[in-house]
Amino acid sequence: MTTSMDIAVCFDCSSSIAFYSKQIRRIILSILHKALLCDESDIRMALIEFQSHTDDWVTNIHPFTSSMDTFQQWINAVQTNGGNFNECKALGKKKSYFIKIFFSIF
């Protein structure tokens, strides 16, 4: 029996995580590679990049794809900079984006 799974990764691109961004990328890619190795899995991945820019929130949404190469290109292109360090506001705002992407598949 084939298992289907959609994985949406929300990536904070603000300067507050810049030091950890390479490690975060490696961990995300490692998890996805392991998931894709399952013989009977149909996995799609989406990437949501977000960061604060003064009082505005900048979001870049990459739609679901089944291609690990495409996802890896997206995540390798993520740049961490800017930010106003208001994490609670960022997470609340991005929750609505995640819900929008999640329900767009139905």
- The pTM score is 0.71
Looking at the predicted structure, is the pLDDT value of residue 25 above 90? yes
End-to-end CA distance of the chain: 21
CATH numeric code, 3-103: 3.40.50.410
Tell how many helices (H) and how many strands (E) occur in the chain: 3, 3
Looking at the predicted structure, is the pLDDT value of residue 89 above 80? no
Can you tell me the mean pLDDT for 11-26?
Answer: 88
| pLDDT per position as a tens digit, 28-85 | 999 998 888 876 678 999 999 988 765 567 789 999 999 999 999 999 999 887 555 5
